[in-house]
Amino acid sequence: MNQNTQLAEHSKGLIFANSRQYAAMLPADQQETSQVNGWLSAAYAALLKDKNLANAARTAPETLMNALNEAAQLGLRPGTTQYYLTPRKNKGRWEILGVTGYQGEVELMYRSGAVASVVVEAVHQGDTFRWNPGQMDKPEHAPDWFGDRGPLVGAYAYAVMNDGSTSKVVIVDQKRIQAAKDASAGSDSQYSPWQKHPRAMYLKTAAHDLAKWVPTSAVDKSVQQIKATVGEQNTNAQAAVVATGNTRAAITEREAPVPQEALAEEYVEAIATGEVDPATEEIHEDTAASTAQVAELRKRLKALSIATDDETANQTIRDQLGNQEHAGIEALTSGEADELLAELAAIAAEA
């Protein structure tokens, strides 16, 4: 058992032992057993992937519970782009801060039932960008997808409502970005996403500001009320750490090709068995599953007596993914492998 797994095991009981509590907090339409198990598994998978996060859960378990309480009441999946579990050092001790990601902000807008689509985009110095309030209902943005777009200069966000109207357009400039960084504890730390994934943080800031002008809902609960009841330590964070997970597409994508760097927030560390790509230290969830992920899947399937050969493993994977046309274990993406590993971890915990 590698160090990451050992650290995560310390907190697995804390996560799964409180399953009824979290289920009761989740919105009514997310309280089915399978949904709750997926929610819990996402949190556990996040600990497996990040040794600092796993260590924080061990040294300060109350901060993990605070974050999970807030995520449950918001109805967002922890350890994903909806709701980040972020490790931070406080007076030399690792702690966890829960942070609503920009896809979580957008999810809550959709959930209000008043929004048809949401656009959140980053603007680079080399892009063509026009916005004239009062004369335009939305910005005109024409990036050179295949050229050098230059450094980030800002971001914008808006929603198209069900009646076809456009919400207030939120523009995030360098002054607003600096204010967000200043409000974020540890934004100058090497662990901060402001340092590792600045583009994702520009998008997060724009989505966060848009949420003030667009109806949001955690079903029957006020988002502001939820945050107030969980604890102020979870509402001060303005940052995010890249984590794994699956969420429905919340951002309206343009028809033009999107470069890989434009999907930075969806990158995850490939640490399924404690191993990270030594060249890049990160991998996109839509790329092929790593050898380590496949090996770990085979091992877990066998340990749980679910599958002993490739044919049975492939059928099990098709069943788990709900896709009978899937090619099986050799055709898994990194994201699919992570999802299956989390589900197998949940099965093991219930055994």
Instruction: Please list, in sequence order, all residues whose beta carbon lies within 8 angstroms of the beta carbon of residue 216, skipping any fewer than 6 positions away.
Output: 105, 108, 109, 111, 112, 223
Share of the chain above pLDDT 90, in %: 28
Indicate whether 95 belongs to any domain.
Answer: no
Instruction: Please list, in sequence order, all residues whose beta carbon lies within 8 angstroms of the beta carbon of residue 49, skipping any fewer than 6 positions away.
Output: 4, 243, 244, 268, 269, 271, 272, 338
Looking at residue 151, its pLDDT comes to 95
- E strand residue ranges, the chain: 83-90, 93-100, 115-124, 128-130, 140-142, 152-161, 170-172, 267-268, 283-284
Q: Kindly state whether residues 117 and 255 are assigned to the same domain.
A: yes
Indicate whether 12 belongs to any domain.
Answer: no
Q: Kindly state whether residues 147 and 254 are assigned to the same domain.
A: yes
Looking at residue 349, its pLDDT comes to 60
Q: Kindly state whether residues 134 and 193 are assigned to the same domain.
A: yes
Looking at residue 62, its pLDDT comes to 92
Looking at residue 216, its pLDDT comes to 83
Q: Kindly state whether residues 311 and 211 are assigned to the same domain.
A: no
Provide the domain limits for residue 318: 283-350
Q: Kindly state whether residues 174 and 305 are assigned to the same domain.
A: no
Whether the predicted pLDDT of 246 surpasses 70: no
Q: Kindly state whether residues 138 and 200 are assigned to the same domain.
A: yes
Looking at residue 274, its pLDDT comes to 30
Lowest-pLDDT choice from 130-139, 266-275, 292-301: 266-275
Indicate whether 268 belongs to any domain.
Answer: no
Looking at residue 184, its pLDDT comes to 76
101-120 confidence digits (pLDDT tens):
888 888 999 988 889 999 99
Indicate whether 138 belongs to any domain.
Answer: yes
Q: Kindly state whether residues 133 and 255 are assigned to the same domain.
A: yes
What's the mean pLDDT in 224-231? 49
Q: Which residues of 43-61 are buried (b: 16+ CB within 10 A; e: fewer)?
A: bbbbbbbbbbbbbbbbebe
Whether the predicted pLDDT of 203 surpasses 70: yes
* Gyration radius (Cα) of the chain, Å: 20
Indicate whether 203 belongs to any domain.
Answer: yes
> Which is more confident, 45 or 257?
45
Indicate whether 159 belongs to any domain.
Answer: yes
Cα 117 from Cα 164, distance rounded (Å): 10
What's the mean pLDDT in 78-101? 86
Asked if 186 contacts 89 with a C-beta cutoff of 8 angstroms, the reply is yes
Q: Kindly state whether residues 198 and 335 are assigned to the same domain.
A: no
Looking at residue 138, its pLDDT comes to 94
> Which is more confident, 280 or 100?
100
Lowest-pLDDT choice from 141-145, 250-254, 294-298: 250-254
Instruction: Please list, in sequence order, all residues whose beta carbon lies within 8 angstroms of the beta carbon of residue 268, skipping any fewer than 6 positions away.
Output: 49, 242, 243, 244, 282, 283, 284, 285, 334, 335, 338
Structural domain ending residue among the three candidates 208, 229, 262: 262
Looking at residue 276, its pLDDT comes to 32
State the total domains in the chain: 2
Q: Kindly state whether residues 199 and 290 are assigned to the same domain.
A: no
- Is residue 245 helix, strand or coil? coil
> Which is more confident, 180 or 224?
180
Indicate whether 322 belongs to any domain.
Answer: yes
Indicate whether 133 belongs to any domain.
Answer: yes
Whether the predicted pLDDT of 217 surpasses 50: yes
Task: Kindly give the interhelix angle for 33-49 and 51-59, rounded to the nearest 10 degrees.
Answer: 110
Whether the predicted pLDDT of 135 surpasses 70: yes
Q: Kindly state whether residues 128 and 252 are assigned to the same domain.
A: yes
Looking at residue 67, its pLDDT comes to 94
Q: Kindly state whether residues 120 and 258 are assigned to the same domain.
A: yes
Q: Kindly state whether residues 111 and 210 are assigned to the same domain.
A: yes
175-199 confidence digits (pLDDT tens):
999 998 888 766 777 767 788 778 8
Structural domain ending residue among the three candidates 209, 229, 262: 262
> Which is more confident, 122 or 348?
122
The structure's pTM equals 0.57
Mean pLDDT score across all residues of the chain: 76
CA angle 338, 339, 344 (to 5 degrees): 95
